[in-house]
Amino acid sequence: MADKTLATFRIDSEEWESFKNLASSESSNASALLIEFVRWYLAGNRFNTPTSHTPTHLDTSLEQRIDNIEQRLDKVTTNNLDNIDEFIDKRIEDNLATRLDKLQSQLEELRGKSKAR
């Protein structure tokens, strides 16, 4: 136990109670979670925050891949919207043609009835 140290820090009392309660509800405790976090951090893990993070090659590569995906998604979305527009236009044209045919039939029928009088 000689190689262990007691670490203390200040935290809002409500936050600390909430943290302990949440840890307990997840079958753990505050100390175990904090130790786990310290080990995680010492292993090189970092939060991606603007104040503590400088871009790396991996970050740049990921950003490029995300940009590429976004561009491809934009193209697919635009193509899909174009296809939907074409489909809707075709349905409208077909519907109008059907209605026009019915109107022409009704008009011819009316003309036939008026000639018969």
Same domain, 31 and 60: no
29 domain-assigned: yes
pLDDT in tens, 45-66: 887 765 555 667 777 778 888 8
pLDDT in tens, 8-20: 999 999 999 999 9
pLDDT band (50, 70, 90) for residue 79: confident
Same domain, 85 and 37: no
Same domain, 68 and 113: yes
Same domain, 5 and 35: yes
For the chain, how many structural domains are there in total? Answer: 2
- DSSP conformational letter for 54: -
50 domain-assigned: no
104 domain-assigned: yes
Cβ atoms 13, 20 nearer than 8 A = no
Same domain, 15 and 39: yes
Task: Quote the mean pLDDT of the chain.
Answer: 87
100 domain-assigned: yes
Give dist(CA 68, CA 23) in Å, integer.
40
Range of the domain at 32: 1-45
